[in-house]
């Protein structure tokens, strides 16, 4: 069962028709529908290409949030070996919205940390839809510290609507935890590379994505506020999210121009969820390439590289 997005409705109709024809043919052996079904398939494939050729920023947000999109767990399982999750912030709890632990990437030991949204109702609730609480950031801080001490590169996978806006999270210092996590990202003397695989939601994303190299998947987004949130504040109407998404310049392509993203990883036609394996493979290759770029830098040099990058950020706008 494919989960279609609202703008994919025409596609759903064509693919539905083709499926119907084939179902009828299965029941009635004398019917010859192959030519007709193939024509429909072709039409659907063409439509998919044209739909995804020029996605609007809001449609990109929808694709980035697609429930079937590969999530952090999928990447860890496919790209890493000997993944050994490490839990807890040693203060309060273990936050399941943040996965992290030791693993091998192309045989090299690394620390991998990421937001996990979950893929069905049960796991989504357990993962709190990828919205971390202070414990999640404090766990990440602990793991980054460990990586620093043992010289392990840190790989972060970002996919969060934002940090969790809850009572307990606030009481336990959500803002302090995010501030410290960003600070820790800037302090580790090991390579730190980050991939925005879905949604890069505001401060909750910055806390992991303050890296030497940041890559974004083609249809991922990274923004200071959700388009809905921005629309309700500036347009006083949450339904203006299309306009807000446009204005915020949150697409991978715009962020590449602004120097916030260093690379854009192409997705299969129709988005990452239409070919998970291909997407995951491309992400793996990009992580390897980004780590290779940093292989000459050691310790303090890596910290300097990161600092320089952020101090100089914003010198160029989109107008140029």
Partner 1 sequence: MNWITNYVRPRINSIFSRREVPENLWTKCDDCGTMLFHRELSDNQNVCTSCGHHMSITPRARFKALFDGGIFSEVAVPEPMADPLQFRDQKKYPERMKAAQKSTGERDAMLVATGEIGRTPIVAAAQDFSFMGGSMGMYVGNAIIAAAEEAVKLKRPLVLFSAAGGARMQEGILSLMQMPRSTVAIQMLKEAGLPYIVVLTHPTTGGVTASYAMLGDVQIAEPGALICFAGPRVIEQTIREKLPEGFQRAEYLLDHGMLDRVTPRTKLREELITIIRMLTGQTPAVWGDLPAPEAAAATPTSAT
Nearer to partner 1, 178 or 195 (CB): 178
C-alpha span between 174 and 293 (Å, rounded): 34
Rule CB under 8 A: is residue 311 a binding residue for partner 1? yes
Residue 113: closest CA among 62, 152, 150, 149: 152
At its nearest, how many Å lie between partner 1 and the CB of residue 257?
A: 10
Kindly give the pairing relationship between strand 98-105 and strand 192-201: unpaired
Q: How far is the CB of 147 from partner 1 (least distance, A)?
A: 18
Residue 3 C-beta: closest distance to partner 1, Å: 25
Residue 137 Cα distances to 77, 110, 133, 261, angstroms: 22, 18, 7, 22
CA angle 230, 66, 174 (to 5 degrees): 50
- Residue length of the chain: 320
Asked if 300 interacts with partner 1 (CB under 8 A), we say no
Does residue number 146 form part of the binding site for partner 1 (CB under 8 A)? no
CB of 232 to partner 1, least distance (A): 10
Segment lying near partner 1 (by CB under 8 A), choices 79-87, 151-159, 266-274, 309-317:
309-317
Q: Are 177 and 142 in contact (CB under 8 A)?
A: no
Q: Per-residue x/- marks for partner 1, 106-145, CB under 8 A?
A: ----------------------------------------
Distance CA(33)–CA(18), nearest Å, equals 9
C-alpha distances in Å from residue 298, one per residue of 188, 190, 220: 11, 7, 30
List of residues contacting partner 1 (CB under 8 A)? 163, 165-167, 169-176, 178-180, 182-183, 185-187, 202-203, 206-207, 210, 222-225, 230, 233-235, 243-244, 247-250, 255, 258, 260, 307, 310-311, 313-319
């Amino acid at each position: 069962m494919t989960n279609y997005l609202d703008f994919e409705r025409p596609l759903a109709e064509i693919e539905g028709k083709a499926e119907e024809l084939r179902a009828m043919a299965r029941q009635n052996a004398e019917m010859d529908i192959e030519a007709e079904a193939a024509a429909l398939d072709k039409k659907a494939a063409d439509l998919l290409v044209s739909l995804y050729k020029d996605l609007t920023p809001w449609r990109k947000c929808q694709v980035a949030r697609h429930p079937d999109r590969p999530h952090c767990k999928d990447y860890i399982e496919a790209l890493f070996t000997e993944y050994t999750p490490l839990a807890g912030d040693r203060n309060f709890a273990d936050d399941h919205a943040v996965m992290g632990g030791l693993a091998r990437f192309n045989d090299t030991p690394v620390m991998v940390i990421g937001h996990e949204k979950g893929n069905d109702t049960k796991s989504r609730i357990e993962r709190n839809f990828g919205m971390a609480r202070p414990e999640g950031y404090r766990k990440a801080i602990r793991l980054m510290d460990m990586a620093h001490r043992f010289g392990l590169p840190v790989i972060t996978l970002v996919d969060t609507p934002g940090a969790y806006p809850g009572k307990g999270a606030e009481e336990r210092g959500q803002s302090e935890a995010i501030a410290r996590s960003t600070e820790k990202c800037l302090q580790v003397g090991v390579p730190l590379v980050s991939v925005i695989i879905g949604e890069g939601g505001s401060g909750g994303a910055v806390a992991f994505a303050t890296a030497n190299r940041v890559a974004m998947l083609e249809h991922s987004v990274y923004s200071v506020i959700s388009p809905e949130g921005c629309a309700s504040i500036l347009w006083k109407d949450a339904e203006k999210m299309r306009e807000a998404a446009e204005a915020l310049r949150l697409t991978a392509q715009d962020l590449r121009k602004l120097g916030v993203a260093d690379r854009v990883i192409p997705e299969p036609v129709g988005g990452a969820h239409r070919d998970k394996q291909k997407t995951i493979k491309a992400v793996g290759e990009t992580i390897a390439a980004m780590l290779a770029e940093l292989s000459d830098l050691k310790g303090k040099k890596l910290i300097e590289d990161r600092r320089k990058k952020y101090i100089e950020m914003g010198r160029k706008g989109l107008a140029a």
